[in-house]
Amino acid sequence: MDKKFDLNRLNVKAFAREGLSLQGQLGLAQFARLAELALSPVESSLQDSGAPTHVSWALQGELVLVSDGDSQIWMHLKAEVDLPMQCQRCMGPVKLSVKTDASFRFVSDEATAEAEDDESEEDLLVLTPELNVLELIEDELIMSAPLVPMHEKCPNLVPMSAVDEAFEEALEARPNPFAALAQLKNKPN
C-alpha cells in the first residue's frame, strides 16, 4: 500500500523512523520566491516552446543510532532546477542549473540547535510536528542560486568601453575655465 504524504505538513519523525523516501517534480510556479529569481517566460527566449520549468527533488528520511543508544532523526534532500535568469554581464537570458544536496539533523529545541550549530557539519533544524518540505526545498535552492548570474562565455560581444563620443566632443568644445583666468591675470588694472 502506497502512503500519501502532504509535503506542506510532513511528519518528519515518522518519515525518518520508517526510512522512507520521496521524489518528484513540481512546476516552478509552486515556489513563488524562487520564481522571483527567474526571468518571466515573456522575457526569456530560453523557454523550450513555452514548456514550464520544473523543480526535481528527492527526500530520504533516516534514523541514526548514536553511541548512547539514542537515535537521531536525519533527512537528506537533493533538488535541482534549470532556472532562466538574466546574465549580469551581457544582460541576456541565461539558463543556470541550480542544485542543492543537503543533510539535516533534527534536534529537540532551538537552544540545542544554537549550541550545536558551530560544531556540526550538517544543518540543524528543530523537530516540529509538521515540516513544510516545499518551503525547505525552496529555501535550499534560493541559497544555492548564484548571486550574480552569468554565462560562462556570453553569446553576444559585451562592450567593455565607457567612451561616449558625443560627450568627448562636447568636452573639447567647451572653453577651458583656466584659460579665461589666465587672460584676466594678464590684463593691466
pLDDT digits (tens, 9 = 90+) for 38-68: 986 544 444 444 567 899 999 999 999 887 7
Q: Rounded to 5 degrees, what are φ and ψ at 4? A: -100, 135
Give Cα separations from 144 to 80, 108, 121, 135, 140 (angstroms).
10, 27, 17, 14, 6
Q: Rounded to 5 degrees, what are φ and ψ at 58? A: -145, 140
Calpha distance 80→152 (Å, rounded):
19
List Cβ<8 Å contacts ≥24 apart for 117-126: 122/74
Share of the chain above pLDDT 70, in %: 89
Q: What is the pTM of this model?
A: 0.76
Calpha distance 61→9 (Å, rounded):
15
pLDDT digits (tens, 9 = 90+) for 79-133: 999 999 999 988 889 999 999 999 999 998 888 888 888 888 889 899 998 999 9
DSSP state of 99: E
Calpha distance 8→24 (Å, rounded):
14
